[in-house]
Chain A
Amino acid sequence: MSAPLLEVEDLTVAYDGAVAVEGVGFTLARGRTLALLGRNGAGKSTTLRAIMGLVPHRRGRLRFAGCDLTRLRPHEIARLGIGYVPEERRIFRRLTVLENLEVGRRPAREAGNPWTLERLFALFPQLADRRHHRGDQLSGGEQQMLAIARALRGHPELLLLDEPSEGLAPAVVRQLLKALWEARRSGLTLLLSEQNWRFARQLAEEACVLEKGRVRFRGPLAELEAREELRRAWLAV
């Protein structure tokens, strides 16, 4: 197997002395999908934010496509080919859909199939109809689609998704799943954080369970699927 696309090793992050993530490590191969699972406050979002360089980490090694991320600033990390869909979507509320997509636009890479506006609108047809609407006029589901489309507009190799299914109606969640399957078919690697086991199991092949900032389980998602007592201990709501 070739070198992994993302390597996280011994990641430790603290906010004002309170340790949020300690010694977290996992690897993610190109084209695979890994779900970071765990309850509220387990350290899932912090892990994603640390990868993006949005919070400084106290210890650990982060490598993406052979590149050390440790000293890079968020925009440099994004330009290496990591797309970020944050918690609560954080679309630009005063910008239109098209303008939101423009902020995410980066020059296309030589290899692969670039995410043109047509391709994104084919993936999320609702956005095409609302392209001139301001961000704060969109529904929660549309905002989530826009947040994903905006990240894809930079043609990332790896997409970080922070609780994409949170607070969305089941029909919208199904639509998001379809879109993410489609994106993955074109070679995209996904790292998602989820509390929602039923959403995660339809998307991910690998799992990493966090509790109180530490890794409790790492392995194929199927193994977690088979062992209900593990899920009950770490994921039950």
Chain B
Amino acid sequence: MGFYLVQFLTGLASASSLFLTAAGLTLVFGVTRIVNFAHGTFYMLGAYFAWALVMALGTGPLGYWGALVLAALAVALLGVLVEVVLLRRIYGAPEIFQLATTFGLALVLADGVRFVFGPADRLGPRPPGLEGAVVLLGEPIPTYDLFLVAVGPLVLLLLWLLSRHTRLGILIRAAAEDREMAAALGVDERRLFTAVFALGAFLAGLGGALQLPRETLHLEMDLEVIAEVFVVTVMGGMGSVPGAFLAAVLIRELEAFGILLLPRITLVLAFLLLAAVLVVRPQGLLGEREGEVRADPRLLRPLTPMTAPTRFLVLLLLLALALLPLYAPPYALILTGDIAVFALYAASLHLLLAPAGLVSFGHAAYFGLGAYGAALAVQLGGFATLPALAAGLLLAAVGALLFGAVARRLAGVDFAMLSLAFAAILWGVAVQWDEVTGGDDGLLGIWPEAWLSAPAAWYGLTLLLVVAGLALLRLLVFAPFGLALRAVRDHPRRAATLGLHPERQRWAALVVAGALAGLAGALQTFAKGSVFPDVLAIPRSVEGLVAVLLGGLHQLGGPVVGAAAFVLLEDWAARLPWWRAVVGGTVLVVTVLMPEGLMGTLARLGRPLVRLAREGRR
């Protein structure tokens, strides 16, 4: 009995910090409609700041507790800086840009933490006054955990009082509902947004600082917590603070007891719970039902077929690529092969982003399923290379089918966050299930068969499959399938009255995109001879997104150009110690300063030239 009680209380204790962090995210989202990817970084910063301040102020009661609060305030201050300098520029942008911008910020800040605190793990000291343990029904539980059990509900109460009984709270709720109307009544949006963002950052910072005595500080804390926070906010209902509390408690209790029964799949349990909640209440536990979610009108630009000169250039490029083994050094073959694989991955994501209007933040799920599928087909099934590639593709397609079963009813931000959570859970499985996946050590020695093992042969196969995949995507976009997909994106209800089935249409697109991403993953496994969990990790998902944005969202060629630019940038930056900051900084520049991407910017710069040429001819 005592054991279960302690297990229950431990669950509540670890729910507190998760709730604080999720409450910050959901509050900021409610008012600004921005899903702040860097929110996990604020959490990590809170923990690191707290550690540094405790070291500086000493471990006396005043120093310790003062350090925790000061750390959260410092994070809030940083939040103000971020909001004023960066976010103000992107409030009007489509959400895909907002997500990418805040991800770029997360990368830059993460390298900042690495630069200041170094890569070593840090362990915080015990809190003065709460060092020991209390015995409950014969079982010991840390006193600090009991303190945390009280913190969650206390913060919930304070936030409730703030929102109901202060002018700030009322303005926050009014702006969350109708920003424009609030402004027309004299509410200064900018100051309100800054205040809310500071509050959100404070809560994340406090959430991180409170974990100091419980958790070893490390540099991946940001990504670990953000996936969980996304699950909590979606489950609780976007914008709902009490919902976030309920969801955090549910998930932590599920973990606390799930670990007794099924120690390996606690993450999967959380996802299944979320799936069950969304089937019953798509708006989350305590979320308010929103109207019909449509894609951002600015993403709805028509895609145009290639002009004759472009087609000629593309053929020329393909010819040059096909003949590459005749004149290029081996390293160029490998790099070009990498670009081709990444281009297929990015193009499959583009099908979701632009024609389907689904912002996927977890496309690595399918890439990784393909990569592991191929590797396991070889290692467990003894498959030959080509069937193994097919197995990878198939596993990814099945993954997309399953995810689609849960996510097809969602659109917009909910879809984005859920897709990220799905990929994060697969990543967790790959890390935890080491009998099959090899855990962090990965699966090694998976090379193509003899007839494909020469670099030129593998390059040829890669090029062939990638070009076939890209051609298929292109055909689909202009086929009735693609037209129906865009109709469903632009106006689901109207498309439904024409006999289209929005959910099924999206679902089908998800499966196609998943299958092709899986093919890209499978190709990569053989190209590298190995597979590690990072093929499923959040950065891989975001790299695809960045490649698409970098190339340009409004051209079908965008993802290919973007993939090439991104692989080359990474190839160069990987030699630098601060590659994350370089890549993140590039993302910031692209999303904030050139939202049209490389292709769009080129097209815009090229337009006067085309006009001149035409006038000259006349």
Q: Are B185 and A154 in contact (CB under 8 A)?
A: yes
Q: Which residues of B contact A150 (CB under 8 A)?
A: 185
CA distance A92 to B182 in the complex (A): 9
Q: Which of A77-110 contact B (CB under 8 A)?
A: 78-79, 84, 86, 90, 92-95, 99-100, 102-104, 106
**Known contacts being A102-B167, A103-B171, is A74 close to B184, with CB within 8 Å?**
yes
Of listed B177, B180, B181, residue having the most chain A CB within 10 A: B181
B interface residues (Cβ-Cβ under 8 A, vs A): 167, 170-171, 173-174, 177-178, 180-189, 288
Q: Are A54 and B173 in contact (CB under 8 A)?
A: no
Other 12 A-B pairs with CB < 8 A, given A92-B181, A94-B173, A106-B186: A54-B180, A54-B183, A75-B186, A78-B185, A84-B184, A90-B178, A95-B173, A95-B174, A103-B171, A103-B174, A103-B185, A103-B187
* B178, chain A: closest CB distance, angstroms: 6
Q: Are B185 and A104 in contact (CB under 8 A)?
A: yes
Q: Which residues of A contact B177 (CB under 8 A)?
A: 92-95
Provide a sorted-by-A list of 29 A–B residue pairs whose CB atoms are within 8 angstroms.
A54-B180, A54-B183, A73-B189, A74-B180, A74-B184, A75-B186, A75-B187, A75-B188, A78-B183, A78-B184, A78-B185, A84-B184, A84-B185, A90-B181, A92-B173, A92-B174, A92-B178, A94-B173, A94-B177, A94-B288, A95-B173, A95-B174, A99-B170, A99-B173, A103-B174, A103-B182, A104-B185, A150-B185, A154-B185
Q: Are A95 and B170 in contact (CB under 8 A)?
A: yes
CA distance A78 to B188 in the complex (A): 10
* B29, chain A: closest CB distance, angstroms: 16
**Known contacts being A92-B173, A95-B173, is A154 close to B180, with CB within 8 Å?**
no
Q: Which residues of A contact B187 (CB under 8 A)?
A: 75, 103
Any chain B CB within 8 A of the CB of A151?
Answer: yes
* A12, chain B: closest CB distance, angstroms: 21
CA distance A162 to B174 in the complex (A): 21
CA distance A86 to B183 in the complex (A): 12
Q: Are B178 and A154 in contact (CB under 8 A)?
A: no
Partner pick for B186 among A79, A92, A93, CB 8 A cutoff: A79
Partner pick for A86 among B170, B171, B173, B184, CB 8 A cutoff: B184
**Known contacts being A92-B174, A95-B174, is A151 close to B181, with CB within 8 Å?**
no
CA distance A224 to B180 in the complex (A): 35
Q: Are A78 and B173 in contact (CB under 8 A)?
A: no
A interface residues (Cβ-Cβ under 8 A, vs B): 52, 54, 73-75, 78-79, 84, 86, 90, 92-95, 99-100, 102-104, 106, 150-151, 154
CA distance A106 to B187 in the complex (A): 9
Of listed A84, A92, A102, A103, residue having the most chain B CB within 10 A: A103
* B478, chain A: closest CB distance, angstroms: 25
Q: Which residues of A contact B181 (CB under 8 A)?
A: 86, 90, 92
CA distance A106 to B184 in the complex (A): 12
Partner pick for A75 among B167, B178, B189, B288, CB 8 A cutoff: B189
Name which residue of chain A comes closest to B173, CB basis. Answer: A95
CA distance A154 to B184 in the complex (A): 11
CA distance A92 to B178 in the complex (A): 7
CA distance A52 to B185 in the complex (A): 10
CA distance A54 to B183 in the complex (A): 9
* B294, chain A: closest CB distance, angstroms: 17
Task: Pick the 8 closest A-B CB pairs, nearest first.
Answer: A78-B186, A74-B183, A103-B174, A84-B184, A104-B185, A90-B181, A75-B183, A79-B186
Q: Which residues of B contact A100 (CB under 8 A)?
A: 174
Name which residue of chain B comes closest to A49, CB basis. Answer: B184
Q: Are A154 and B174 in contact (CB under 8 A)?
A: no
Q: Which residues of A contact B170 (CB under 8 A)?
A: 95, 99, 102-103
Name which residue of chain B comes closest to A102, CB basis. Answer: B170
CA distance A9 to B185 in the complex (A): 24
Q: Which residues of B contact A75 (CB under 8 A)?
A: 183-189
CA distance A103 to B170 in the complex (A): 7
* B550, chain A: closest CB distance, angstroms: 27
* B493, chain A: closest CB distance, angstroms: 20
Q: Which residues of B contact A79 (CB under 8 A)?
A: 186
* A114, chain B: closest CB distance, angstroms: 15
Q: Which residues of B contact A74 (CB under 8 A)?
A: 180, 183-184
CA distance A157 to B181 in the complex (A): 19
CA distance A48 to B183 in the complex (A): 15
CA distance A47 to B373 in the complex (A): 61
Name which residue of chain B comes closest to A150, CB basis. Answer: B185
Q: Are B185 and A151 in contact (CB under 8 A)?
A: yes
Of listed B177, B184, B188, residue having the most chain A CB within 10 A: B184
Q: Which residues of A contact B174 (CB under 8 A)?
A: 92, 95, 99-100, 103
Name which residue of chain A comes closest to B182, CB basis. Answer: A103
Q: Which residues of B contact A94 (CB under 8 A)?
A: 173, 177, 288
Name which residue of chain B comes closest to A103, CB basis. Answer: B174
Name which residue of chain A comes closest to B185, CB basis. Answer: A104
CA distance A79 to B183 in the complex (A): 10
CA distance A54 to B189 in the complex (A): 13
Of listed B173, B174, B186, B189, residue having the most chain A CB within 10 A: B186
Name which residue of chain B comes closest to A79, CB basis. Answer: B186
Q: Which residues of B contact A93 (CB under 8 A)?
A: 177
Q: Which residues of B contact A99 (CB under 8 A)?
A: 170, 173-174
Q: Which residues of A contact B186 (CB under 8 A)?
A: 75, 78-79, 104, 106, 154
Name which residue of chain A comes closest to B189, CB basis. Answer: A75
* B586, chain A: closest CB distance, angstroms: 31
Of listed A52, A74, A151, residue having the most chain B CB within 10 A: A74
CA distance A154 to B177 in the complex (A): 20
Q: Which residues of B contact A90 (CB under 8 A)?
A: 178, 181
Q: Which residues of B contact A92 (CB under 8 A)?
A: 173-174, 177-178, 181
CA distance A93 to B183 in the complex (A): 16
CA distance A95 to B164 in the complex (A): 10
CA distance A90 to B175 in the complex (A): 12
Name which residue of chain A comes closest to B179, CB basis. Answer: A74
* A20, chain B: closest CB distance, angstroms: 17
* B237, chain A: closest CB distance, angstroms: 13
* B369, chain A: closest CB distance, angstroms: 41
Q: Are B183 and A73 in contact (CB under 8 A)?
A: yes
Q: Which residues of B contact A73 (CB under 8 A)?
A: 183, 189
Name which residue of chain B comes closest to A74, CB basis. Answer: B183
* A167, chain B: closest CB distance, angstroms: 18
Q: Which residues of A contact B288 (CB under 8 A)?
A: 94
Q: Which residues of B contact A84 (CB under 8 A)?
A: 184-185
* B385, chain A: closest CB distance, angstroms: 52
Name which residue of chain A comes closest to B297, CB basis. Answer: A16
Name which residue of chain B comes closest to A84, CB basis. Answer: B184
CA distance A179 to B606 in the complex (A): 60
Q: Which residues of B contact A106 (CB under 8 A)?
A: 186
Q: Which residues of A contact B184 (CB under 8 A)?
A: 52, 54, 74-75, 78, 84, 86
CA distance A15 to B174 in the complex (A): 27
Name which residue of chain A comes closest to B171, CB basis. Answer: A103
* B300, chain A: closest CB distance, angstroms: 12
Name which residue of chain A comes closest to B176, CB basis. Answer: A94
* B466, chain A: closest CB distance, angstroms: 38
CA distance A92 to B54 in the complex (A): 45
Q: Which residues of B contact A104 (CB under 8 A)?
A: 185-186
CA distance A218 to B180 in the complex (A): 31
Name which residue of chain B comes closest to A156, CB basis. Answer: B186
Q: Which residues of B contact A102 (CB under 8 A)?
A: 167, 170
Name which residue of chain A comes closest to B177, CB basis. Answer: A92
Q: Which residues of B contact A103 (CB under 8 A)?
A: 170-171, 174, 182, 185, 187
CA distance A150 to B182 in the complex (A): 11
Q: Which residues of A contact B167 (CB under 8 A)?
A: 102
